[in-house]
A and B are shown apart, each in its own frame.
Chain A
């Protein structure tokens, strides 16, 4: 391990949820005990109407972060200036605590595949992604967070494990990391590595946010579907991540088969319950 967790100071929002249309009414009427919300940036890159209206009402009461899915930071098409312009305009409106996207590619030759496709873990890809992250950060005027994705295949040309790739990109681009605990679990199963090797290798000072989520099985492969509750091994990995990194803003990411808000609040409470004694003992 590189450093002790409690020594790393970072902005901390507490425990959050993804803002979903299914919960708009509950959130507005009940003002649930959620510390912050994450929005999917692309859902609000629109002219106007109900979604933006509700966004502003929720934002008035809660801190917010923006999480994108279409930056294609690892893509080899030119960076989409129109998209970046819309992202910056939305950020001016939302004033998020931070902006994140995924360490992946999503488009090729102008065609958007709307999936978080894995990158080869090569020196060429490190250079390519880091250079694009720098340009995005310059344009937005702020550091961004990159999230590790779940993957179902790796490439013969890869030269390093995923955690070294993520670490190298983050250091070279001087960006931050959104660590998806479920994605570490999913990829460790699909590619036969120890998830603790992943957690223990990352630079603690760059970890800004955790995602927790559920997944599904497709035969022998685990798929990151975000349509189920968080499972026990992921909670255990979360505990290991809290021990390793300390206080990190944590949220439940649920995108499909969306339950009542109360169910997600219960899951979020479990995250608090797991983290509290670990943080208390590391502070002692």
Chain B
């Protein structure tokens, strides 16, 4: 038997309980072959479960340890690790929760997973500088409409219909969270890293549109035009300038581009 065939059999024993591999294990005093294989099978499941627990601590609290373990086992079966680092194992969790009964009946679970995964992405996103207010001030006002913005690599946008963020914060403070409740329209959220810390805040409807617009590549002039949907045209320049200053102050923008 080739090395590859042996490893394939071992893997199938670990992942699918295939017993053919047992005959490849040498008999040694102290424990039989099945027992020896079980050590590896248990360790595999436990290690991947623990990785998911690290990525989804509040989801685990919401579900409780037993239900989370059932979820983790389902997840591991459907999404075995495809990356050398366990850091990326849990990336399909929100989608699985949204699409799979019984968890899909509680949409707050999927949204909690999305919120916790986004925090992880923000936490170790690549480094980049941020634009200072003075750099904006250096640009001549006639050029402002041609300004484009590149987001800091850590910036993430989520739309959450459920009160996921207050629940997460209550659990983080070891307080009893409010029961899950859904808003009539999704709430927009921004998450990003400033220095080494994760930040988030909610967005009003017009700021949500504006942020999504510049992240898609829209110039500042297009953003000002778009804001007229919510504001009288004479108020737009001041309001848009205020939004831009708040984005720069928060460290959301890494690069200014004049096209």
- Mark interface residues in A35-68 (1 if CB within 8 Å of B CB, else 0): 0000000110111111111000000000000000
Q: Please, how many residues of chain A have a CB less than 8 angstroms from a CB on the other chain?
A: 52
Residues of B within 8 A of A113 (CB): 11, 14, 44, 81
B26 touches A117 (CB 8 A): no
Are B25 and A221 touching (Cβ within 8 A)?
A: no
The answer to whether A111 and B10 touch (CB under 8 A), given A153-B26, A192-B30, is no
- Looking at the complex, which of B32-40, B56-64, B161-169, B220-228 is the stretch in contact with chain A? B32-40
Q: How far is the CB of B90 from chain A (nearest CB, A)?
A: 13
A48 with B43, Cβ < 8 A, contacts A107-B84, A111-B15, A192-B28 known:
no
Chain B residue with Cβ nearest A53: B196
B35 to chain A: which residues have CB within 8 Å?
219-221
Known: A190-B28, A219-B35. A76 touches B85 (CB 8 A): no
Cβ of A34 within 8 Å of any chain B Cβ, yes or no, is: no
Q: How many residues of B contact A (CB 8 A)?
A: 49
* Cross-interface CB contact of B24 among A45, A48, A157, cutoff 8 Å: A157
| A108 contacts the other chain (CB 8 A) | yes
The one of A52, A72, A115, A156 that contacts B47, using a Cβ cutoff of 8 Å: A115
B23 contacts across to A, CB distance below 8 A? 156
Using Cβ atoms and an 8 Å threshold, which residues of chain B touch A124? 2-3
Name the residue of chain A whose CB is nearest to the CB of B12. Answer: A108
Contacting pair A125 B126 (CB below 8 A): no
Compute how far the CA of A153 lies from the CA of B35 in the bound complex, rounded to whole angstroms: 9
With a CB–CB cut-off of 8 A, which chain B residues contact A112? Answer: 80-84
Q: Mark A144-156, 1 if CB is under 8 A from B, else 0.
A: 0000000011111
Residue B48 interfacial (CB < 8 Å): yes
Q: How far is the CB of A53 from chain B (nearest CB, A)?
A: 6
Known: A48-B126, A49-B125, A219-B35. A191 touches B40 (CB 8 A): no
**Measured between alpha carbons, how far is A76 from B11 in the docked complex, in Å?**
12
Cα–Cα distance between A116 and B81 once the two chains are bound (Å): 15
By a CB distance below 8 angstroms, the chain A residues around B31 are 190, 219-221
**A105, closest chain B residue (CB):** B7
What CA separation (Å) do A80 and B31 show in the bound complex? 35
Kindly identify which residue among A75, A154, A220 contacts B7, using a CB–CB cutoff of 8 Å.
A75
Question: Which of the residues B10, B24, B87 comes within 8 Å of A46, measured between beta carbons?
Answer: B87
Contact B36 A114 (CB under 8 A): no
Whether B102 sits at the interface, judged by CB under 8 Å, is no
- Other-chain residue from B4, B80, B154 in contact with A111 (beta carbon distance below 8 A): B80
Q: With both chains docked as a complex, state the minimum distance between the C-beta of B55 and any C-beta of chain A, in angstroms.
A: 14
Look across to chain B and name the residue whose beta carbon is closest to the beta carbon of A50: B196
Rounded to whole Å, the gap between the CB of B9 and the closest CB of chain A is: 10
B interface footprint on A107-147 (CB within 8 Å = 1, 0 otherwise): 11111111101011010110010000000000000000000
Say whether B124 faces chain A, with CB atoms less than 8 Å apart.
yes
Cβ contact within 8 Å between B126 and A47: yes
Partner of A153 from the list B36, B48, B51 (CB cut-off 8 Å) is B36
How far does the alpha carbon of A218 sit from the alpha carbon of B87 in the complex, in Å?
27
A27 to B36, CA, bound (A): 39
A249 on the B face (CB < 8 A): no
B28 touches A108 (CB 8 A): no
Q: How far is the CB of A247 from chain B (nearest CB, A)?
A: 33
Chain B, residue nearest A47 (CB): B126
- Known contacts: A46-B124, A48-B125, A49-B196. The answer to whether A155 contacts B81 by CB under 8 A is no
Q: Is B29 in contact with chain A by the CB < 8 A criterion?
A: yes
Q: Is A191 a contact of B28 with CB atoms below 8 Å? A: yes
Please judge, given known A-B contacts A48-B127, A111-B80, whether A42 and B85 are in contact too, CB under 8 Å. Answer: yes
Knowing A114-B44, A158-B26, the reply to whether A120 touches B3 (Cβ < 8 A) is yes
Can you give 12 A-B contacts (C-beta < 8 A)? A42-B86, A43-B85, A47-B124, A49-B123, A76-B4, A113-B81, A120-B6, A155-B25, A155-B26, A192-B28, A221-B31, A221-B39
Enumerate chain A interface residues (CB-CB to B < 8 A): 42-43, 45-53, 70, 72, 74-76, 80, 83, 105-115, 117, 119-120, 122, 124-125, 128, 152-158, 189-192, 218-221, 223
A-B pairs, top 3 by smallest CB distance, nearest first, are: A47-B126, A48-B127, A70-B84
Given contacts A43-B85, A156-B26, A218-B42, 8 further A-B contacts (CB under 8 A): A42-B87, A47-B153, A107-B84, A115-B47, A189-B30, A190-B30, A192-B30, A219-B35
